[in-house]
Structure 1
Amino acid sequence: MINIRHILNISAVGAIAILATACGGEKKKSQGELDAQAEVFEKAEHELIEEIDKVVHDMPPPSEVPYLLMATGADFNGDIINSTDNASKYFNSADKAAMNLGAYATDIGYLSSYDQVQDALTYMETSQKLADQIGISSAFELDLMERFEKNLGNKDSLANLINYSMEVAEKKLEETDRLQMVALVLSGSYIEGLYLSVMVLDTYPEDLLPAAQRDLILEPIVRVIIDQKKSLDDIIHLLKDLESDPIIADVIAEFDILKELYKEDVGDIDQRIADQDPTLKLDKALLIDIITEVKRIRGDMVK
Structure 2
Amino acid sequence: MRFSKSICIFVIVAIFTGSVCSCKNKRETESSTTKEPGKFYQHEFRRRLDAVNPGLKDPSAIISLLESTGAEFLPDLINNSGLDSIYLLDSAAAAVNLGIYTVDLVYLIAYDKNEMADVQLSKARKLADKIGATHLYDHGMYNRYRQAGVHPDTLIKYFSKAAEQMEHEYSSMQLLRLYTLFATGEFIEKLHLTSSLLIHAEEHERDYYWTVMLLVFQQERALDQLILLLDQIREQEEGDRFMAMMNDLKLIFMEMTDSRELSGINTQNIAENQLFREMVEQLGYIRNWVIHPTE
SS at match of 2:82: helix
Compared with structure 1, are the counterparts of its residues 112 and 126 closer, same or farther at alpha carbon in structure 2 (3 Å cutoff)?
Answer: same
Residue 229 of structure 1 aligns with which residue?
220
1:103-252 equivalence runs, <5 A: 103-141=100-138, 155-157=150-152, 175=172, 177-205=174-202, 211=203, 213-244=204-235, 248-252=239-243
CA gap of 1:245–1:76, structure 2 versus 1, over 3 A, is farther
Q: Secondary structure at the match of 1:85?
A: coil
Q: Which amino acid aligns with 1:80?
A: L
Q: Which amino acid aligns with 1:91?
A: L
**Aligned CA distance change for structure 1 residues 11 and 175 (closer, same or farther; 3 Å):** closer
Q: CA, structure 1 residues 268+260, in 2 after alignment: closer, same or farther (shift >3 Å)?
A: same
Could you say if the C-alpha distance between residues 45 and 182 of structure 1 is closer, same or farther in structure 2, counting changes exceeding 3 Å?
farther
Q: Per the alignment, in what secondary structure is the counterpart of residue 235 of structure 2?
A: coil
Alignment partner of 1:13 out of 10, 28, 35: 28
Unpaired runs of at least 5, structure 2? 1-21, 163-168
Q: What residue is the counterpart of 1:300 in the other structure?
A: 289
C-alpha distance 263-83 of structure 1, shift in aligned 2 (>3 A): same
Aligned length: 251
Q: Which structure has more RCO (C-alpha within 8 Å, separation ≥ 6)?
A: 2
Secondary structure of the equivalent of 1:73? coil
Instruction: Return the match for 2:50 from 39, 51, 56.
Output: 56
Are 1:99 and 1:188, in contact at CA under 8 Å, matched by a contact in 2? yes
Provide the TM-score with structure 1 as the length reference.
Answer: 0.69
Greater percentage in helix: 1
Helix, strand or coil for the counterpart of 2:37? helix
Q: CA RMSD in A?
A: 3.6
Please point out which of 253, 263, 266 is paired with 1:281: 266
Letter in structure 2 aligned against 1:261: I
1:135-166 deviation digits (Å, cap 9, x = unpaired): 3334225x668x69xx8xx714368999x99x
**CA–CA distance in structure 2, aligned partners of residues 217 and 184 of structure 1:** 33
Structure 1: runs of 5 or more not aligned: 1-6, 18-36, 166-171, 206-210
CA contact (8 A) 1:101 1:188 kept: yes
The answer as to whether partners of 1:128 and 1:140 remain within 8 angstroms in 2 is yes
TM-score with structure 2 setting the length? 0.70
Distance 1:159 1:241 in 2: 35
